[in-house]
Amino acid sequence: MRLERIYFSTVAVRLSAVLHYNVTVAQVNLLVSGWNRKRERHNVNPINFRQRVKDEVEWQKKHRLPINKERFFFPDELELFSRYAGYDLTK
């Protein structure tokens, strides 16, 4: 189901716990950038997180919900990213 969103800040906290090192959202962005480039090299469409957030903000405005501009994964994407990162970040 694609309704659940796992924000990059949550991924940073989970990765920090695994590595015992403070990982920032900027560092997660860097990892995601590499993962997206790898996807592209393997003929899998990269994810446009910027456009995804833009679409999400428009939907939130339309429905008068609090605006959240943070990038996020869907659960299936986080599972694939976890394999790339080498750590289970789904929990």
Question: Which pair of structure tokens corresponds to residue 60?
Answer: 């939130």
d(CA 14, CA 70) in angstroms, rounded, equals 16
pTM for the structure as a whole:
0.90
The helix (H) or strand (E) run that includes residue 58 is helix 49-62
Predicted confidence at residue 2, as pLDDT, reads: 61
Looking at residue 64, the DSSP 8-state letter turns out to be T
Predicted confidence at residue 60, as pLDDT, reads: 95
- Per-residue confidence in pLDDT tens, the chain, 91 aa: 468 999 999 999 999 999 999 999 999 999 999 999 999 999 999 999 999 999 999 999 999 999 999 999 999 999 999 999 999 999 8
Specify the 3-state DSSP secondary structure of 17. Answer: helix
Question: Which pair of structure tokens corresponds to residue 80?
Answer: 């694939």
Predicted confidence at residue 3, as pLDDT, reads: 81
Specify the 3-state DSSP secondary structure of 53. Answer: helix
